[in-house]
């Protein structure tokens, strides 16, 4: 198989969105990526991120490729966990304190910062509606995030998410309260849960 055919196959596997790292990891010399771009079969989306002309635009995945440190959070995480059917108008992401957020803000995303020791708490991977993997937080961390930022979350989205969580059979209240303790919101969260449980 020649390198252009391998690159074609890789683009197909990645559903039309590839990174320079994907190409390098596949053992394809970068010159073939350049040729592919020059033939206008790929469009540059951001530094090291390319999109084929016939692919569906998965904005979440493309944002993740562009800003690897960004973790989808808050109402965006609720959407990814099927806790709301409203796709966010503006994606919400969380990064470590001190991270340069210029590139992320340029995409139009809402950026939250958290202490480095809390950044990975509840970190998981989930599929976007276009079946691409992105980083997000588990549902317990997401509930804590929306409680912490409740003034910035629509009241309807906030209350629906809490009600939905309480009704779930797979809810993990000990984990939720452990996270709440880490974020120092146990008493606030407990008040909401007492009303709903």
pLDDT band of residue 188 (cuts 50, 70, 90) is very high
Strand order in the sheet with 110-114: 110-114, 92-96, 71-72, 133-137, 123-127
What pLDDT is recorded for position 57? Answer: 74
Token match 């480095």: residue? 116
Strand order in the sheet with 42-46: 17-19, 49-52, 42-46
Q: Give me the chain's average pLDDT, please.
A: 88
Q: Domain residue spans in the chain?
A: 3-55, 67-196
3-state secondary structure string across the chain = CCHHHHHHHHHHHCCCEEEHHHHHHCCCCHHHHHHHHHCCCEEEEECCEEEECCCCCCHHHHHHHHCCCCEECHHHHHHHCCCCCCCCCCCEEEEECCCCCHHHHHCCCEEEEECHHHHCCCEEEEECCCCCEEEEECHHHHHHHHHHCHHHCCHHHHHHHHHHHHHCCCCCHHHHHHHHHHHCCHHHHHHHHHHHC
Is the domain covering 3-55 a CATH 1.10.10 domain? Answer: yes
pLDDT band of residue 197 (cuts 50, 70, 90) is low
User: Phi, psi (5° rounding) for residue 128?
Assistant: -75, 170
CB 11 within 8 A of CB 28: no
Distance between CA atoms of residues 87 and 110, nearest Å: 14
> Each residue of 56-78: pLDDT tens digit?
678 898 888 888 899 999 999 99
Q: Highest mean pLDDT: which of 11-25, 48-62, 91-105?
A: 91-105
Between these two residues, 167 and 34, which has the higher pLDDT value?
167
> Each residue of 90-143: pLDDT tens digit?
999 999 999 888 888 888 899 999 999 999 999 999 999 888 899 999 999 999
What pLDDT is recorded for position 118? Answer: 95
pTM of the complete model: 0.78
By C-alpha distance, which of 5, 4, 12 is closest to 33? Answer: 4
């Amino acid at each position: 198989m020649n390198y252009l055919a391998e690159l074609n196959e890789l683009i197909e596997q990645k559903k039309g969105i590839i990174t320079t790292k994907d190409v390098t990891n596949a053992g394809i010399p970068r010159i073939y990526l350049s040729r592919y771009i020059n033939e206008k079969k790929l469009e540059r989306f951001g530094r090291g991120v390319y999109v084929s002309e016939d692919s569906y635009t998965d904005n979440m995945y493309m944002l993740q490729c562009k800003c690897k440190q960004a973790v989808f959070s808050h109402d965006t995480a609720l959407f990814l966990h099927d806790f709301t059917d409203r796709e966010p108008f503006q994606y919400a992401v969380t990064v470590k304190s001190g991270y340069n957020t210029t590139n992320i803000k340029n995409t139009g995303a809402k950026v939250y910062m958290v202490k480095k020791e809390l950044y990975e708490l509840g970190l998981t991977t989930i599929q976007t509606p276009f079946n691409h993997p992105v980083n997000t937080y588990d549902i317990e961390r997401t509930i804590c995030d929306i409680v912490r930022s409740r003034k910035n979350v629509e009241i309807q989205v906030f209350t629906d998410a809490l009600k939905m969580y309480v009704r779930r059979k797979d809810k993990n209240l000990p984990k939720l309260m452990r996270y709440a303790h880490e974020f120092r919101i146990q008493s606030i969260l407990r008040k909401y849960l007492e009303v709903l449980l």
